Amino acid sequence: MQFAAVIVAAGSGSRAGGAAKQWRPLHGRAVVRWSVDAFKAAGASPVVVVIGAGHEAEAERWLGDAGVVLVKGGATRTESVRAGLAATGQPDAVMIHDAARPLVSPAHIEALIRALTEADGALPALPVADTLKRDGATGAVTVDRDGLWRAQTPQAFRLAPLAAAYAAWPDAAPATDDAAVVEAAGGRVALIPGDPLLMKITHPEDFAMIERLASAPRITRVGQGLDAHRFGPGDGVWLCGVKIAHDLMLIGHSDADAGLHAITDAVLGAIGAGDIGDHFPPSDPQWKGAASDLFLRHAARLVGERGGRITGVDVTLVCEQPRIKPHREAMRARLAEILDLPLDRISVKATTTEGMGFTGRSEGLAAQAVATVELPG
């Protein structure tokens, strides 16, 4: 999908103190340049940067060699976004991003593009974790946080519904983000998992935090998982989230998907979080017959809560039957969906034991998996 990027950098940045935050240096690059480089690396074309009046010199200094399109912003964010959209041409999709969120990565961008397959727009969001209070007339009043999310950028949209929504948006109405504009026009906006690294520089103290995050070491950790299940009478086998028609089934407390179980253990192992039985005990009746993608999503969520991300998985299925190859690409696609990863970071392989052992006698099958996870150092 061809996509453009609009980076909104026209604000004064006054709340952050000192010079406009988007032009302040962050480890040798202006704050806005971090986002420009990320969108370029992800394949955005063109990358449009909307700047404010009087910031031409800063733009030339920090972006003169970046190959971006510079446009002048307006008095409001809505006017600035409209100016940026007018300079994008006719891509399939557009991403709109706040320059004050410098730690966007190509992985964030790729995830948003995938989310557009079933929606007019998509945005990363984090669940509200803190208790919310409103200052009422008689003191603090607790606000129900259930179902509330913190919206982040970049926000991705198909061009046609986004352009139509902005054309219909009242000029005088404030829009705190672009999803609100598309929602008001009846468009569907999907939420994808947000990332604490997408924090926005707003106050002076935020610079100390963003400098630490930008320089924080990241380490890669590897986990491995192994699972096996025996065959019994049935009508199909669940493997890597795909049901394969077969005259047998795998026996287990859940759906006995050995592939997903092995990957789940590999992810949990990479973050030192035990194994699948610690989180979903087979003695607990609520997991009887459960779909195993639930277990893998849980493990992936634990990675995110630790500030990390899964970077790849490789699973090998060991069996004489059923044949895996005809279903391998469907398995890869399903794993990519569950883990929100690009397809090329998912590997599914199959082998036999040449008739030896319980798999060779077709008494059951086994799966072995490796997962790589990137975590803060």
* Closest C-alpha among 308, 10, 314, 101 to residue 109: 101
Q: Which CATH architecture has domain 218-376?
A: 2-Layer Sandwich (3.30)
Distance CA 124, CA 351 (A): 39
- What are the tens digits of pLDDT across the range 266-284? 999 999 999 999 999 988 9
Distance of alpha carbon 94 from alpha carbon 248, whole angstroms: 48
Instruction: Return the SS3 of 282.
Output: coil
- Give the predicted TM-score (pTM) of the model: 0.63
3-215 maps to CATH 3.30.110.30: no
Strand 242-245 vs strand 236-239: parallel, antiparallel, or unpaired? antiparallel
Among 226, 88, 72, CA closest to 157: 88
Residue type, 29: R
Matching CATH topology for 3-215 and 218-376?
no
User: CA–CA separation, 232 vs 160, rounded Å?
Assistant: 52
The answer to whether the CB of 152 falls within 8 A of the CB of 125 is yes
Using one digit for the tens of pLDDT, what is the confidence trace for 71-87?
999 999 999 999 999 99
DSSP output for 80-127: HHHHHHHTS-S-SEEEEEETT-TT--HHHHHHHHHHGGGSSEEEEEEE
Task: Mark out the alpha helices in the chain (DSSP H runs).
Answer: 31-42, 56-63, 77-86, 106-115, 159-168, 178-184, 206-215, 258-270, 276-279, 293-305, 328-339, 357-360
C-alpha angle with apex 6: 116 to 109, nearest 5 degrees? 40
The answer to whether 293 touches 260, Cβ cutoff 8 Å, is yes
Q: Higher pLDDT residue, 171 or 338?
A: 338
Q: What pLDDT score does 17 carry?
A: 46
Domain chopping of the chain, boundaries: 3-215, 218-376
Tens digits of per-residue pLDDT, 208-263?
Answer: 999 888 887 778 999 999 999 999 999 999 999 999 999 999 999 899 999 999 99
Q: Tens of pLDDT along 45-55?
A: 999 999 999 99
β-bridge partners, 5: 47, 95
Q: For residues 175 and 222, what is the distance between their CA atoms, to the nearest angstrom?
A: 43
DSSP H helices, 185-292, are 206-215, 258-270, 276-279
